Structure 1
Amino acid sequence: MPSWSPCSIPELLDLTGHDPLIRGTRGAGRGPAWRGADGRAVAFTGYDVEDRIRSLVALGPPDETAELVAAVHGELPEGIRVIVPRGTPLPLSRPSDWNFRAAYGTPPPQPAEAAVGWCDDEDAVTELLTLVSPGTSAWPGDPKVRRWAGVRRDGRLLACLADTTAADGVGHVSAIAVHPEARGRGLGPSITAWAMRRMFAAGCDVVTLGVYADNAVGLRMYDRLGFTVDRALTTGLMKRPA
């Protein structure tokens, strides 16, 4: 008997208590999906905006997750990203450790929220990201970005954030950056809290983001803003056995 079986996205959501990572993937971009024999390990494919499979996301106990990924990976295109809990025993190349964070409540007020607003100056956003965060996951012109928030002072963009919400009810923020000359003024937590507040006001029941595991300052900031879900993940490439 196989130790896994196909399942639907609704079944997968039920098995995981409507996990915010799964919920937050745009509806048209999820599936197919699988479950381990006892339902503790689950996996689903993620599609990009051009409907190409771009990732396999698997959640559950590390050993069971590794078994499930190994079983279904051969059914997928070569060279896709694999996202698994950190410590999952799989031969991943070019691994990158990051944390998935989720908040279910509005954040405490931050000192510079009044200075934040929606920003349509994509040239200024590009300039700031190139300076501060060239490896960011979102850029102006990226179809997954709905809009940008920014903090401007004296005609300069000092902070930015991307609203990359992809699914109803689950807000998602990306590309949070603060100009080096403006650090220490609370702009990072302020622009994040401002965006969170508007996402909750618009009907989201959870706001999510991803942060690199070695970003200790960011992890502490998200703790203070109420991101109570903190899941350690690794992304890498998995080659098929020769």
Structure 2
Amino acid sequence: METRKRLEESTVVRILALADDVAAHDGVAALSEQTLLDLRTPVREVRHLLIRPPGEPGAAGADAVAGYAQIDADGSSAELAVHPAYRCHGLGRALLDEVRTLAAGVAVWAHGDLPAARSLAAAAGMSKVRELLQMAADLPAAGVTTSTAPSDHGLPPDQVRTFRPGKDEDAWVRLNARAFADHPEQGRMTVDDLRARQSEDWFDPSLLWLVSDETGGAAADELAASMWVKVLPGESSGEIYALGVDPSAQGRGLGGGLTSLALAEMTARGLDRATLYVEGDNTAALRTYEKKGFVCVGTDVQYR
């Protein structure tokens, strides 16, 4: 077992390959987007745990990785993955035990909540503390005429624009912090976190809409709401990546209008499916998305 604060590029490449192999084998992502970003373009200090392949030293390569775990910067959350070729050797339990030793009270993600993860959690005396649901909805067939004018979705057209890289970062981060003040991950995003995402190959500023706040007393660059859509290159689906509404602007229909606009834009671009993630206990959001045709297609769980 190795514990590191920094990794050389060759080890990062090995871990990313491990994540790809696990995802291909299990049918669900091995590691979350934030964990992958903290590997590729780190902006905060996390802890990395590595297990090398058992057996003859160096037989699988000097920098081979059989298992990996990451503990986030404040020690509240962690993820782990073991390569399919090295399972059933106790590596998952060893990683889990070390994670819990280094970060008392940590909550550990299980993507897809697969039977093996449930068994590992039960053996360690852990129970579910959080569920994150992935929902999906089919979009209208290609060629359907759909308006992408903000006014056709109940939005004030003179207050809606798309993101301007290099100008809107600070305002968006401030809005995001207000909108997600109680969210354990989203609400703590920084400008550096935002820029890390802007460097990803999927980032498209034309799919990040901003609604300016023109209420009395608001600063000229303050925002009332935003909608961010993520479309991976070559994919036929789009994700409602982040929808944020300032608490003072709730009840004005901005969230529903932005969601409608995002779905229309995805349809206009020829995508056939929309996805999103929502907390399992967010009854109001679940009801809203279900009315728009979204159904649950997967569950990620945190165990503590």
When the two structures are superposed, what TM-score results if normalisation uses the length of structure 2?
A: 0.51
Correspondent of 1:163 among 221, 229, 235 = 229
Task: Determine the C-alpha separation between the residues in 1 that align with 2:94 and 2:232.
Answer: 24
Cross-structure match for 2:5: none
Task: Determine the C-alpha separation between the residues in 2 that align with 1:186 and 1:128.
Answer: 17
1:30 aligns with 2:90: no
Q: Which moved more, 1:156-165 or 1:106-115?
A: 106-115
Cross-structure match for 1:98: 132
How far the C-alpha of 1:231 sits from its partner, in A, is 3.8
Tell me, what secondary structure is at the counterpart of 1:141? helix
Tell me, what secondary structure is at the counterpart of 2:256? helix
Superposition map of 1:1-242 within 5 A? 30-32=20-22, 33-34=24-25, 42=27, 45-46=30-31, 48-49=36-37, 50=39, 71=88, 74=91, 78=95, 81-85=109-113, 89-90=118-119, 91=121, 92=126, 95-106=129-140, 110-112=153-155, 114=157, 116-120=160-164, 121-134=168-181, 135=183, 136-137=185-186, 140-143=194-197, 146=203, 147=205, 148-154=208-214, 155=220, 156-167=222-233, 168-227=235-294, 229-231=295-297, 233-236=299-302
- Please identify the structure whose Cα radius of gyration is greater: 2
Tell me, what secondary structure is at the counterpart of 1:217? helix
Tell me, what secondary structure is at the counterpart of 2:226? strand
When the two structures are superposed, what TM-score results if normalisation uses the length of structure 1?
A: 0.62
Question: What do residues 48-105 of structure 1 show as CA deviations (whole Å, max 9, x unaligned)?
Answer: 2446967679xxxxxxxxxxxx859837993573213499844156742121111112
Q: Does structure 1 retain, via aligned residues, the 8 Å contact 2:110–2:303? A: yes
How far the C-alpha of 1:230 sits from its partner, in A, is 1.3
Task: Determine the C-alpha separation between the residues in 1 that align with 2:153 and 2:114.
Answer: 32
Task: Determine the C-alpha separation between the residues in 1 that align with 2:269 and 2:178.
Answer: 32
How far the C-alpha of 1:179 sits from its partner, in A, is 1.1
Q: Which amino acid aligns with 1:82?
A: A
Task: Determine the C-alpha separation between the residues in 2 that align with 1:101 and 1:203.
Answer: 20
Task: Determine the C-alpha separation between the residues in 2 that align with 1:177 and 1:100.
Answer: 18
Q: Does structure 2 retain, via aligned residues, the 8 Å contact 1:56–1:83? A: no
Q: Which amino acid aligns with 1:189?
A: G
Q: Aligned Cα RMSD in Å?
A: 3.9
Task: Determine the C-alpha separation between the residues in 2 that align with 1:102 and 1:235.
Answer: 18
Structure with more helix by fraction: 2
Q: Which amino acid aligns with 2:91?
A: G
Q: Does structure 1 retain, via aligned residues, the 8 Å contact 2:232–2:238? A: yes
Question: What do residues 87-142 of structure 1 show as CA deviations (whole Å, max 9, x unaligned)?
Answer: 98441567421211111125996422745431231211111111120434465223
Q: Which moved more, 1:93-102 or 1:229-238?
A: 229-238
Q: Which amino acid aligns with 1:81?
A: W
Structure with more strand by fraction: 1
* Structure 2, gaps ≥5 residues long: 1-17, 41-47, 49-67, 71-78, 82-86, 100-107, 141-145, 215-219
Task: Determine the C-alpha separation between the residues in 2 that align with 1:76 and 1:197.
Answer: 46
Task: Determine the C-alpha separation between the residues in 1 that align with 2:132 and 2:155.
Answer: 27
Task: Determine the C-alpha separation between the residues in 2 that align with 1:102 and 1:72.
Answer: 36
Q: Does structure 2 retain, via aligned residues, the 8 Å contact 1:170–1:204? A: yes
Identity over aligned pairs, percent: 21
